[in-house]
Amino acid sequence: MEKAWKQVCAFSLGAMLFVAVQSQAAQEDQTQEGRQIYELRCASCHGLEAEKLVGKPVQYLADRMQDIKRMHDPLLEKMRRMQQALEPLSDDQIENIALYLHKLQ
């Protein structure tokens, strides 16, 4: 019985480690995609260092980008340019940009 319990524990620990590694790898892929999109669509205005955006919470950044994407007839030219940059992006791509900016610290 004790041997079976040890095997169950070992299997459970192995499964948790596998999931953790897979999750970390997926997050790294998402961050990389976010960096690529940021450099292509955002860096020309915000700069490669993105000083004002670095380290902010992911959800805050994603929500602000979604707000601008959905804005009806933005008055400021910079908001129009940002809206045009965000318009073709999916929710996941916007989330990946936010993840990248958050991790820049």
Residue 45 neighbours by CB distance under 10 Å: 10
| Residue 41 phi, psi dihedral angles, 5° rounding | -110, -20
Enter the tokens of residue 49.
Answer: 């260092």
Share above pLDDT 70 across residues of the chain, in percent, rounded to a whole number: 76
The DSSP symbol for 75 reads: S
Mean pLDDT over residues 31-53, rounded? 94
Residue 42 DSSP SS3: coil
pTM: 0.74
Enter the tokens of residue 45.
Answer: 């205005």
The separation between CA 65 and the C-alpha centre of its own chain, rounded to angstroms, equals: 12
pLDDT at res. 1: 63
State the CATH architecture for 2-103: Orthogonal Bundle (1.10)
**Res. 59: pLDDT tops 60:** yes
Among candidates 23, 40, 18, which has minimal Cα distance to 97?
A: 40
Q: Where are the domains of the chain?
A: 2-103
